[in-house]
Amino acid sequence: MMPTDKLTIFSTTFDSRANEKMAAPEMLTTPATSVASRIERRVGSMKGAENGSI
Alpha-carbon distance of 19 to 29, in angstroms, equals: 16
Q: What is the per-residue pLDDT across 5-16, written as a single tens digit (0 to 9) for each?
A: 888 888 888 788
CA 53 distance to own-chain centroid: 36
Alpha-carbon distance of 39 to 25, in angstroms, equals: 21
Q: What is the per-residue pLDDT across 1-54, written as a single tens digit (0 to 9) for each?
A: 566 888 888 888 878 888 788 877 777 776 777 888 888 888 888 877 766 655
